[in-house]
Homo-oligomer: A and B are copies of this chain.
Amino acid sequence: MANQTKFTFGLWTVGWLGADPFGSATRAVISIEETLENLKAVGAYGITAHDDDLFPFDSTEQQRRAAIERLKKGLEATGLKMPMLTTNLFSHPIFKDGAFTSNDREVRRFAIRKALRNLDLAHEMGAETFVMWGGREGAEYDCAKNVVDALARYREALNFLSSYVVEQGYNLRFALEPKPNEPRGDILLPTVGHALGFIETLDHPEMVGLNPEVGHEQMAGLNFVAGIAQALDAGKLFHIDLNGQKGIKYDQDLVFGHGDLANAFALVHLLEFGKDGKIAYQGPRHFDYKPSRTEDWTGVWESARANIRMYNLLHERAQAFESDPEVQALRKRSKLDQLAMPTLNKGETAKSIHESSEWFNFNPEKYFNGEGAGFVQLNQIAMEHLMGAR
């Protein structure tokens, strides 16, 4: 099944050189060509990038074009695609208080320009998704940011960019990437939920969806699978960032499945079998991880392979879980089939319920010491499938 799954990697992921808040880089930069060849070799379908990953922030137009042409050649040579592009609005000192929601109006205007320019590039590269991670949109201190004002500015920027895409006729959709904190003390739109709520206040909600990241939701202690389900329910899973995180702490960006393994298993099950047993998300499986700072370049490519391997192993196990007749029986015992049915009978209204005798017939007391839900046993069988023990 792995053959059909489209795995993509951010250029900044395998390209991360290991500098962190307490130490300098442990790896030396390699060329774009070498990067693409190695990604091809590990089985990637495509790559993604921020503008600043491709050419330095202060590039001249000539340098910028040269880098783009070089990238295109590399993509052609390897057959890799670029289905997603994004803009770096967080690294340069100018964005120290945010980009679209910086208190400094000139910075906000510059941020919109930088994004606009990158929308053109996304179109040029044939990308269909434009991810927006507002990592600097936030504050350390409650008095430093009027959040109502900041959301208004965020909305203004997204509306403006959306109308630009409409005007230009680009085949692009926006995908917001939530994160609760780091590098800011608190980041605006901290979770999948907050972004879903915000999207509905936009001029073009249909053009804007989500790019949830495993680790980001888990940094708030939230269940990633439940968040993805809500995004699917809202028709907003436009892209996805796969990686690993071990609980509530700094952003770890481990290999997918190297964090909460059981939740990763449930995630792959949801993506691949979540729509009545069929695939629920068609887009790329995008890895947004960091090869550990302890590794050399050999380890980098091993880690890239590990992401794909983990996904495929989980996919196989999810398939076995889905097909197991015992699982189907346990699900029925757990009444998951009833959950899929409407609660109300056809045609039933508030009025008709008031008139029915059901209220008096129902006996809540039978539920004490009554029939159990069977959830633990169902979960145990899921764990056994995950462990290849069935």
Contacts and interface: CB of A to CB of B under 8 A. Distances in A.
A261 to B, nearest CB: 5
Given A261-B383, A313-B389, A251 B21 contact: yes
Contacts of A291: 376
A71 interface: no
Nearest to A371: B296
A148 B261 contact: no
Interface in A168-207: 168, 180-183, 185-186, 188-201
Q: Which interface class (under 10, 10 to 19, 20 to 34, 35 or more) fits A?
A: 35 or more
12 contacts: A22-B183, A23-B92, A113-B353, A140-B375, A141-B258, A150-B339, A152-B233, A180-B249, A219-B249, A220-B221, A255-B380, A310-B383
Contacts of A380: 255, 258, 302-303, 306, 309-310
Contacts of A183: 20-23, 293
Nearest to A178: B193
A378 B194 contact: no
Interface string A346-387: 000111011000110010110111111111111110111011
A57 B364 contact: yes
This chain: how many copies in the complex?
4
A85 interface: no
Nearest to A195: B193
A294 B96 contact: yes
A205 to B, nearest CB: 8
A24 interface: yes
A161 to B, nearest CB: 8
Interface string A299-316: 100110010011001000
Contacts of A24: 91-93
A1 interface: no
Interface in A96-121: 96-97, 100-110, 112-113, 116
A144 B358 contact: no
A72 interface: no
Contacts of A334: 103, 144
Contacts of A123: none
A239 interface: no
A339 B146 CA distance: 8
Contacts of A104: 335, 338
A189 B378 CA distance: 24
